[in-house]
Chain A
Amino acid sequence: MTRDPDVLLAVKNLAVSFDTRQGVVAAVKGVDLTVRHGQVVCLVGESGSGKSVTGFSLMGLVDPPGRVTADEMWFDGHDLMRASDREKDALRGKDISMVFQEPMTALNPGRTVGSQIAEVVRIHERTGREQAWSRAVELLRRVGIREPAQRAKAYPHELSGGMRQRVMIAIACALTPKLIIADEPTTALDVTVQAQVLELLFSLQAETGAAVLFITHDLGVVAEIADRVVVMQAGRVVEEGDVRQIFQQPRQAYTQALLAAVPDVDAPRDCARRLSPRPALAAKGTPR
């Protein structure tokens, strides 16, 4: 592979499958993905299209019975397919980090948010408890939480959904990673809060120059933030391109259907226009 210094993440032929009692389930099949430094790549697709599993496999978070294979998986000069657990642990949280969909479950309910932000600092930099704590308070201030010194002592259930997601973002951005994988970070939030959280995430992104792999099914968000868009269906990439090209001249029928599925109050109501998650069904025409 030619090593383009501009490329941060290069994945060739990624496949993720799960061994179950009913047989092998292929969640992701033959996905190629390239993310450049500072680029925002949106991975879109409906539920079950394999976009989250792709994100987890990049983090090395697919545990048995799941199996990840790829011809190539390079991140910032590291061969992730050959990296040891120790090497991966050193990268995770520091150079590549993740924002989860549901901050209530992704935060430890039994520990204060401050200690959870301090955690990532303490894992990667052998700093003392107090130093890590003051870093955590500073990070809370940076993600726009008022009275950060007091809030740091709060437990996750004492914060609102938006504040919890800000905490997640503070954790993800704590060590200025080169790549942030955001797995539907706004899905669990109210629309007004969504806008604030997105604004925060991308102002931090602009500040640090991190690349973002943004996993979502919200095309409105995609149009606003993406540089490139990768459309997934049933574990495969069906279309990939510049955000303008995807929105203005979608080539694939699935992408067109996905764009058409965005609700439009002026359009006539038509329940027959539904997406088919499986290509086989789509080929047969309208389901049922």
Chain B
Amino acid sequence: MIAFLRNHTAGLSVPMALGFLTLVVLAAVFGPVLGLVDPYQIDAANLLSSPTWQHWLGTDELGRDLLSRTVYGARVSLTVAAAAVILAGVLGVTIGVGVAFLGRRAEAAAIRVVDVFVSLPEIFVALVVLAFIGGNLPTLVATIGILYAPQFARVAWGVARGIRAREHVLAASSLGAGNGWIIWHEVLPNMRSIIAVQASFTFSFAMLLEAGLSFLGLGVRPPVPSWGQMVGSLKDYLFTNPWPVLVPALALFFTVLAVNVLGDWLQDVLNPELQQ
């Protein structure tokens, strides 16, 4: 692993991004067994405090421990983003590959429909949907996942079309393989790397969309912590103490940055022919 990294990276940004993300994921996974303070416990004596020995990252407007809330917030933010990416990926790849096997006229029509959905502004549609059906975790995941599925579909369609034209697919047909077999054994295995890259970028988009919606009060509802929701409620106290709002904001910033750095790196390593 270390030798692999050394061969495939220039500079420190990738190892740092990888290290940071590992830390975040570990904290999120093992949060409940880390012996942290209860994220809902109110310490009325210390409201909006800066870091102290008692509260390492300070407290929020109700005196709740920010380290604990950031860790528990990571659980929510990462889970929502990951679930949304899986949903978007499964839906999008299914649609994209299916469209690539429709045949000429139907394919052209179907991909225009996908294009319409790609061009919808995500935050606007998400606002409308969540305002009507209300924000709980499953609807949040479903909304974000469905919103990003068309982009996956577009990418999957393009790649599947390219693979479909390759000779080994023709060779598989010459062996009597039907479309289902060809999709499963010839097309999907050859698009894994491109899907992995698309998933990494979608992951950071999904995190930002979840944060934006929760910031606006339409995503994760208080008192459950998510990073966007924490920024949303702490922003009002920016002039009282600017420290607390920085904690979830920077956590979000660095996580998204790290995911994007890794996404770029994955792109270079897995699909070197696509550089530039």
- With A64-B103, A64-B104, A119-B177 in contact, is A100–B172 under 8 Å at CB? no
Flag if B173 contacts A119 (CB, 8 Å). Answer: no
Contact partners of A100 in chain B: CB under 8 A: 167, 170-171, 174
Chief secondary structure at chain B's binding surface? helix
> Which parts of B164-200 form the interface with A (CB within 8 Å)?
166-168, 170-178, 181, 185-186, 189-190, 192
Which of B103, B173, B178 has the largest number of chain A CB atoms within 10 A?
B173
Flag if A110 contacts B174 (CB, 8 Å). Answer: no
Distance of A108 Cα from B181 Cα, bound (Å)? 13
Contact-residue size bin, chain A (C-beta under 8 Å from the other chain): 20 to 34
Flag if A93 contacts B168 (CB, 8 Å). Answer: no
Distance of A123 Cα from B192 Cα, bound (Å)? 23
Contact partners of A119 in chain B: CB under 8 A: 172, 175, 177, 185
Flag if A108 contacts B174 (CB, 8 Å). Answer: no
- A91 at interface, CB cutoff 8 A: yes
Q: For A171, give its contact among B166, B170, B175, B192 (CB under 8 Å).
A: B175
- A92 at interface, CB cutoff 8 A: yes
Q: For B171, give its contact among A107, A109, A110 (CB under 8 Å).
A: A107
Contact partners of B104 in chain A: CB under 8 A: 64-65
Chief secondary structure at chain A's binding surface? mixed
- A137 at interface, CB cutoff 8 A: no
- With A108-B189, A108-B190, A123-B181 in contact, is A97–B170 under 8 Å at CB? no
Interface bits A182-206 vs B (CB < 8 Å: 1, else 0): 0000000000000000000000000
- With A64-B103, A64-B104, A123-B181 in contact, is A107–B175 under 8 Å at CB? no
Interface bits A22-57 vs B (CB < 8 Å: 1, else 0): 000000000000000000000000000000000000
Distance of A189 Cα from B168 Cα, bound (Å)? 18
Contact partners of B178 in chain A: CB under 8 A: 85, 89
Interface bits B186-228 vs A (CB < 8 Å: 1, else 0): 1001101000000000000000000000000000000000000
Which chain B residue has the least Cβ–Cβ distance from A90?
B176
Which chain B residue has the least Cβ–Cβ distance from A100?
B171
> Which parts of A102-118 form the interface with B (CB within 8 Å)?
102, 105-111
Flag if B177 contacts A123 (CB, 8 Å). Answer: yes
Footprint of A on B, CB under 8 Å? 103-104, 166-168, 170-178, 181, 185-186, 189-190, 192
Can you give 11 contacting A-B residue pairs, CB < 8 Å? A59-B174, A65-B104, A92-B174, A93-B177, A98-B174, A102-B167, A105-B167, A105-B168, A119-B175, A123-B175, A123-B181
Give 16 new A-B contacts, CB below 8 A, not counting A97-B175, A105-B167, A108-B172.
A59-B174, A65-B104, A85-B178, A89-B176, A89-B177, A92-B176, A93-B176, A97-B174, A98-B174, A105-B168, A106-B167, A106-B171, A107-B171, A108-B190, A123-B175, A168-B171
Pairs of residues from A and B, 3 with the lowest C-beta to C-beta distance, nearest first: A93-B175, A93-B176, A92-B176
Footprint of B on A, CB under 8 Å? 59, 61, 64-65, 85, 88-94, 97-98, 100, 102, 105-111, 119-120, 123-124, 168, 171
